[in-house]
Amino acid sequence: MQYAVLGGGALGLMAAYRLAQAGQAVMVFEQEQLAGGLAAGFRVGDVWLEKFYHHLFRSDRTAIRTIEELDLADRLEWIRPRTVSLVGGHIHQLDSPLSLLLFEPWRIDERLRVAAVLSFLKLVPPSLLEGKTAHAWLRRWMGERPYSVVFEQLFISKFGTLHDQIALPWFWARLHDRTTHLGYLHGGFQLLYERLAQRITERGGKALLGTQVEKVEQVNQIDGRWRVVTSKGTWHFDRVISTLPTRLTCRLIPQLPDEYRMRYDWGRAYGTHCLILSLAHQLTESYWINICDRGYPFTGLFEHTNFISPAEYGGRHLVYLGNYRPMDDALFTLSKEQVMADFFPHLKRINANFDPTWVQESWIFKAPYAQPIVTTEYRKHIPPLHTPLEGLWVANMFQVYPHDRGQNYSFALANTLVERIL
C-alpha cells in the first residue's frame, strides 16, 4: 500500500514510522521546514530549543519507550524543578502534597479541603465526571475562596471568556497525568523528530518538508485511489492519513459528506503564542510560574534554564512567556517589539531588578489550533479514526480526550491508528 500522511508532527511521524516498519510505502507532507509540529525547535547556539515549552512526565510511558526505541535514552534526564504560583504579588511553591499543606494563601482548613478534592480526582475515573464543568464543580467542592485565589484566574488566563465552559474531565487529566519529576531530552526534543524522519527514510519512506497540502480528493471510488495536490506537485496514493485538525481536514477534502461535517467540523481551538527571551541574568528561581494574579498579559512564565542548566545554552538564561488566545486575537498581529513593550513592565512586577537591557536575544513563535476548547459537548464530537470515505483516516489531538495535547498521547494514538489500519 502507498500511504500519504498529512502533517509531520509527533502523530504523523510516528504513524509513518510504524507503517514503514511494516513494509508499507509512506510519504509525509509537512508545511514547515522542520519536522515536529508543535514540538519542533529552533537553534540556540549548538543545541535545539523548543518553540513552545515542552517536558515529559513519568506517566508519559509511550513517549519514554519511543525515545528508548530510537536510541536516545542516554539523553533523557529526570529532574525535579520548582513549580510555583504567583498569588497576591508573592511567589508560593505549589507542586507537591507537602507544599499544598504549607501553601500560605489558603487557611489550613482550606488546604485540607483542596487536598481532599484533588485526592478524589486522582482516584475517580473520568467517566464519572462527564457533563460537569470544572469551574462550577471545583468552585462548589473546593470552596469559593480557595478556587478563586488560585484556579479561577488560571482558567481565565488560558480560556478567556470560555473559562467557565471547560469540561471537568479535562481538568482531571491535567491533574492525573502530572508528576513532580519532569523529563527533558538534552539537545532538544527536535532530536527525536529528526531521528523519526531519518528512520522513515531508511525504510524507504519520504518526509517532504516545506510542502503545503492544497487539496485531497478520491479519484476512483472503486479502488479508493487518492490524489494529493501540494505546493510542490501532485501524488497518488492508496490511503491517506490526515493528522491535521479535523476542521482543516474538512476544508482540504470537499468529498467528506455533510453528515460527517455537521458532527465533526465542530468546536473551537485557540492558537498559541510564545515570546522567548535570552537574558544576561536569571529572572526567577523557579521553572514554572502559574500567574494567579490578574492583569498580566501572559498566561504563564517558564524559565527553562531553571530546569536545564544555562551552560547547555552558552550561559543564556531562557524565559518563555506563553499565551493561548483565539486565533483572531490582536496579539497575533503585534510585532515582537510591541509585544515586548507590553510584557516588560509586568516582568518588573515579578522581579523588580529586571531591566530591558538584560535581553540579549528574543524570538516569537505562533501556531494555530494548539489548544482545543474542551466543553461538556466535546466528547460527542470526537471523530472516529476511519472516515466514511474508503482509505481516508483521521487522527489528531482532538481524539486524545480526556488527556490534553502532548507528545506522549500523539505517539500512543499513532500506534493505535496503525494497528487498526493494518
Give pLDDT, residue 220. Answer: 76
Give the whole-angstrom CA distance, residue 336 versus residue 82: 29
Q: Is the pLDDT assigned to residue 304 strictly greater than 80?
A: yes
Strand 83-87 with 288-291, pairing: parallel
Give pLDDT, residue 82. Answer: 95
Q: Is the dihedral of CA 18, 20, 24, 29 positive or negative?
A: positive
Give the whole-angstrom CA distance, residue 336 versus residue 261: 37
Q: Is the pLDDT assigned to residue 72 strictly greater than 80?
A: yes
Q: Is the dihedral of CA 405, 44, 288, 151 positive or negative?
A: negative
Q: Is the pLDDT assigned to residue 83 strictly greater than 80?
A: yes
**Residue 286 corresponds to which cell in the numbers above?**
523557579
Give pLDDT, residue 404. Answer: 84
Report how far apart, in Å, the C-alpha atoms of 150 and of each of 23, 92, 118, 303, 352 are: 51, 11, 14, 20, 23
Whole-number average pLDDT of the chain: 96
Name all contacts of 169-172 with Cβ < 8 Å and 24+ positions apart: 169/126, 169/129, 169/130, 169/374, 169/379, 169/401, 169/402, 170/134, 170/374, 170/401, 170/402, 170/404, 171/121, 171/134, 171/138, 172/121, 172/124, 172/126, 172/129, 172/402
Q: Average pLDDT, stretch 100-119?
A: 97
Place of cell 467557565: 164
Give pLDDT, residue 99. Answer: 95
pLDDT in tens, 171-201: 999 998 899 999 999 999 999 999 999 999 9
Top-level class of domain 2-42+189-267+374-421: alpha beta
The three-class DSSP label of residue 399 is helix
Q: Average pLDDT, stretch 159-168?
A: 96
Give pLDDT, residue 410. Answer: 97
Give the whole-angstrom CA distance, residue 329 versus residue 394: 28
Give the whole-angstrom CA distance, residue 300 versus residue 311: 24
Q: Average pLDDT, stretch 307-315?
A: 97
Q: Is the pLDDT assigned to residue 368 strictly greater than 80?
A: yes
Give the whole-angstrom CA distance, residue 76 versus residue 187: 10
pLDDT in tens, 222-277: 677 999 999 999 999 999 999 999 999 999 999 999 999 999 999 999 999 999 99
Q: Is the pLDDT assigned to residue 154 strictly greater than 90?
A: yes
Give the whole-angstrom CA distance, residue 57 versus residue 193: 18
CATH architecture of 268-372: Alpha-Beta Complex (3.90)
CA contacts within 13 A on the Cβ side of 346: 17
Give the whole-angstrom CA distance, residue 192 versus residue 386: 28
- With a CB cutoff of 8 Å and minimum separation 6, the contacts of 334 are 342
Q: Could you tell me the residue ranges of all domains in the chain?
A: 2-42+189-267+374-421, 96-174, 268-372
Q: Is the pLDDT assigned to residue 398 strictly greater than 90?
A: yes
For 85, left (φ over 0), alpha (ψ -120 to 50), or beta?
beta
